[in-house]
Amino acid sequence: MLNCVASLQEALFSLHPAGFTRKDSTLKTQLVCLIMVVPESQGELYHPPPDLQRDAHVPDFSSYVGMYKKSLENPEAFWKEVADEFFWKKPATGPMLQYNFDVTKGNIFVKCMEGAKTNMCYNVLDRHVREGNLGEKVAYYWEGNSPEHHTTITYGQMLSSVCRCANVLKRMGVRKGDRVSIYLPMIPELVYTMLACARIGAVHSVVFAGFSSDSLCERIMDAQSSVLVTADGVYRGDKLINLKQISDEALEKSREKGSSSISKCLVIKHQALRMKTGASCNKLQTPWDSERDEWWDEAMSDSSEDCEPEWLDAEDPLFILYTSGSTGKPKGVVHTVAGYLLYTFLTFKCVFDYHHDDVYWCTADIGWITGHSYITYGPLANGATSVLFEGIPVHPHVGRFWEIIEKYKVTKFYTAPTAIRLLMKYGQEPLQKYDLSSLRILGTVGEPINPEAWLWYYKTVGQSRCPVVDTFWQTETGGHVLTPLPAATPLKPGSATFPFFGVEPTILNEHGEEVEGEAEGYLVFRKPWPGIMRTVYENHERFENTYFKKFPGFYVTGDGARRDKDGYFWITGRIDDMLNVSGHLLSTAEVEAALTLHSAVSEAAVVSRPHQVKGECLYCFVTLKDSWEFDKKTVAELKTLVREKIGPIATPDFIQNAPALPKTRSGKIMRRILRQIARNEKDLGDLSTLADPKVVEVLFSQRSKAAA
């Protein structure tokens, strides 16, 4: 400990306090906090294990401080060193980063390595196979929904499949800049298709395969994709999902809306699913349009393995990924080639302290950003071996995760707090059956992790020898922005700790003023890092309005944060109209819009309520039209409607009858009050702004009848 403090002090003194300008104040505050108070917190800190520190990329806290300082003071040199790892067809002519973060000074923009030409697919595959001799190295251990189904894919095999897929897409008319929608389960072909797009300069738009046909339709229409890649179906646990049928419904809906951009649909025959015998397989529906649809196997069998990569500009788009927006309409977050490559590469390498012989497993679905950055691009950019898992944590038994860790000798494991809380419920017994001694580092992402779950993860899963990296980030940030580094950062359960390299966080109060020291408020970032989003697809105005208007000069995350006396950041949750259910962001407006589609509903308001496993769940207040009765049938219909419109992740947990909603005199619904009613908090504070305070009593009296 003393050593740690001494080296921190050295780092502080090397900072030349006199050299700090006003702009550097966050960095200064940050470092001063870090260095001064670490010893006081001894009791609650979890220190990095010395054996991990021995050959770590960032081996101790003072190395972190030094690198962090360099990343902010000399971003040019810092990122140039990272870029030197990769292949550039043409070098950059501009600086590593250019930007404007201040709406009052003109359009918001971020550019990384202007003038450079490269290709993402070349850098994550060809470079390893051709230059790094990794052709035989395993890229993925694919583990199916059922433990009987698994395969191994090497970098060499993957390059060949990706090139063939790229040629299929080209034959289907896909050109540089065209969008390809991908609606696939967690099978290797999902990664092949993403990289095939990247190879030919097409922009992929992956849609999570748990979304409904309406959600898929909306995302295809917004992106105006020309090709859809899907599968016949998939089992998630015991449940069969007819992906092709859902895809056809989505395409039919887009036709009805007069916007059918898809000319070709490539369909993967899910082999494992076909092997499944018994009645359930007969439920598989594969509607077919012979003009439009092609089977993947047939298309791939006569496709060439030669495909020259398309050399793209550093700032050409790599992909679009939709994320919930507070207006209800999802936003197409756009990430570009060079910056995303540098950032996912470096965060993966440092946050999981990647080494060549690691077996890494991230349990997320590639349909979300975590899968894009930390199953596909980050690990592949490093030449890593990963597990690609199709199933769910409790199928066919509650020890499935632990069984997989033992089977592949997983060294780095990354999952969500919701999964941890779910597995905690089954106690230690399922873990004791398996050998988890291969584990070195544990990670979490997606939502705040409660200290109880953190400690269970650390002690029971990691046997008190694996640091837990609680990584805070967003679809928009492209990669981790607040995160511990496993060999460097003393941990506090529940805190995402400190910023990653190049990231300068600060906390603002309601008036947009920076608050220093111990404080709570809006979490914002002062400047970009290479992996931050560039725009909302085809809607730059929405990009500026959403993230940059509220506090000019800053990127606004939409999350609240607290900085403690030691400078550690604690995310306090969303402070906009968004909910985080099992780590998935949903907008209240989106769910309200689905509820009001029901002919019985005149008005709906949705708030979050804490949930033991999911973190938050949906509590919906509905006001029915006069002649309707609030009964079980209506509640069931409302739940089905939300599932159909958005997907099963948005299924309401509670629906309560609300003869009226609490509103201000100007008619604004007071969600704070609804949240308190949902939580049964009787002390509601000041109700004077309500048009009719009696509404509150009525809602409390109806509360016990809320249908779960």
User: Which residues contribute to the site for ligand WTA (CB under 6 A)?
Assistant: 323, 368-370, 445-448, 470-475, 496, 557-559, 571, 574, 580, 585
Could you tell me the smallest distance in angstroms from the CB atom of residue 216 to ligand WTA? 18
Could you tell me the smallest distance in angstroms from the CB atom of residue 472 to ligand WTA? 4
Could you tell me the smallest distance in angstroms from the CB atom of residue 480 to ligand WTA? 8
DSSP letters for 421-438: HHHHTT-SHHHHTS--TT
C-beta of 326 vs 474, nearer to ligand WTA: 474
Distance, in Å, from the CA atom of 666 to the CA atom of 681, rounded to the nearest integer, reads 25
Q: What values do phi and psi take at 25, rounded to 5?
A: -60, -35
Distance, in Å, from the CA atom of 681 to the CA atom of 684, rounded to the nearest integer, reads 7
Is there a contact between 227 and 180 (Cβ–Cβ < 8 Å)? yes
Q: What values do phi and psi take at 43, rounded to 5?
A: -55, -40
Could you tell me the smallest distance in angstroms from the CB atom of residue 538 to ligand WTA? 20
Could you tell me the smallest distance in angstroms from the CB atom of residue 54 to ligand WTA? 27
C-beta of 144 vs 330, nearer to ligand WTA: 330
C-beta of 230 vs 580, nearer to ligand WTA: 580
C-beta of 119 vs 608, nearer to ligand WTA: 608
Grouping H, G, I as helix, E, B as strand and the rest as coil, residue 339 is helix
Which residues, other chains included, contact 244 with Cβ-Cβ below 8 Å and sequence gap of 6+? Answer: 230, 231, 232, 233, 267, 285, 286, 287
C-beta of 174 vs 321, nearer to ligand WTA: 321
Smallest Cα–Cα separation from 546: which of 524, 517, 566? 524
Beta strands, E only, 599-638: 601-611, 615-624
Rounded to the nearest 5 degrees, what angle is found at the Cα of 371, between the Cα atoms of 367 and 372? 90
Cα pseudo-dihedral 230, 234, 240, 243, rounded to 10: 0
Smallest Cα–Cα separation from 142: which of 133, 153, 131? 153
Distance, in Å, from the CA atom of 558 to the CA atom of 524, rounded to the nearest integer, reads 8
Cα 670 to chain center, whole Å?
Answer: 30
Cα 290 to chain center, whole Å?
Answer: 36
State the residue for tokens 């971003």. 75
What is the Cα Rg of the chain in Å? 25
Please report, as a single letter, which amino acid is at residue 188. P
For the record, the structure tokens of 200 come out as: 């030919």
Distance, in Å, from the CA atom of 193 to the CA atom of 662, rounded to the nearest integer, reads 49
Distance, in Å, from the CA atom of 120 to the CA atom of 381, rounded to the nearest integer, reads 9
Give one word for 680, left, alpha or beta, with left for phi > 0 and alpha for psi -120 to 50.
left
Could you tell me the smallest distance in angstroms from the CB atom of residue 99 to ligand WTA? 21
C-beta of 232 vs 447, nearer to ligand WTA: 447
DSSP letters for 630-687: --HHHHHHHHHHHHHHT-GGG--SEEEE-SS--BBTT--B-HHHHHHHHTT-------
C-beta of 293 vs 616, nearer to ligand WTA: 616
Could you tell me the smallest distance in angstroms from the CB atom of residue 245 to ligand WTA? 27
Is there a contact between 443 and 468 (Cβ–Cβ < 8 Å)? yes
C-beta of 167 vs 475, nearer to ligand WTA: 475
Could you tell me the smallest distance in angstroms from the CB atom of residue 193 to ligand WTA? 21
Which residues, other chains included, contact 373 with Cβ-Cβ below 8 Å and sequence gap of 6+? Answer: 340, 344, 347, 348, 478, 479, 531
Distance, in Å, from the CA atom of 479 to the CA atom of 335, rounded to the nearest integer, reads 11
For the record, the structure tokens of 137 come out as: 């190295």
C-beta of 453 vs 600, nearer to ligand WTA: 453
C-beta of 75 vs 484, nearer to ligand WTA: 484
Is there a contact between 113 and 76 (Cβ–Cβ < 8 Å)? no
C-beta of 155 vs 472, nearer to ligand WTA: 472
C-beta of 408 vs 551, nearer to ligand WTA: 551
Could you tell me the smallest distance in angstroms from the CB atom of residue 399 to ligand WTA? 25
Could you tell me the smallest distance in angstroms from the CB atom of residue 442 to ligand WTA? 13
Distance, in Å, from the CA atom of 671 to the CA atom of 619, rounded to the nearest integer, reads 11
Could you tell me the smallest distance in angstroms from the CB atom of residue 583 to ligand WTA? 7
C-beta of 351 vs 585, nearer to ligand WTA: 585
Could you tell me the smallest distance in angstroms from the CB atom of residue 130 to ligand WTA? 32
Could you tell me the smallest distance in angstroms from the CB atom of residue 455 to ligand WTA? 16
Grouping H, G, I as helix, E, B as strand and the rest as coil, residue 330 is coil
Cα 358 to chain center, whole Å?
Answer: 23
The strand pairing partners of 657, in sequence order, are 622
Cα pseudo-dihedral 111, 113, 116, 117, rounded to 10: -70
Could you tell me the smallest distance in angstroms from the CB atom of residue 499 to ligand WTA? 13
**Residue facing ligand WTA at closest CB distance:** 475
Could you tell me the smallest distance in angstroms from the CB atom of residue 466 to ligand WTA? 17
Distance, in Å, from the CA atom of 289 to the CA atom of 246, rounded to the nearest integer, reads 14
C-beta of 168 vs 496, nearer to ligand WTA: 496
C-beta of 96 vs 369, nearer to ligand WTA: 369
C-beta of 403 vs 576, nearer to ligand WTA: 576
C-beta of 48 vs 446, nearer to ligand WTA: 446
Could you tell me the smallest distance in angstroms from the CB atom of residue 448 to ligand WTA? 4
Rounded to the nearest 5 degrees, what angle is found at the Cα of 24, between the Cα atoms of 22 and 27? 140
Distance, in Å, from the CA atom of 503 to the CA atom of 698, rounded to the nearest integer, reads 48
Could you tell me the smallest distance in angstroms from the CB atom of residue 208 to ligand WTA? 10
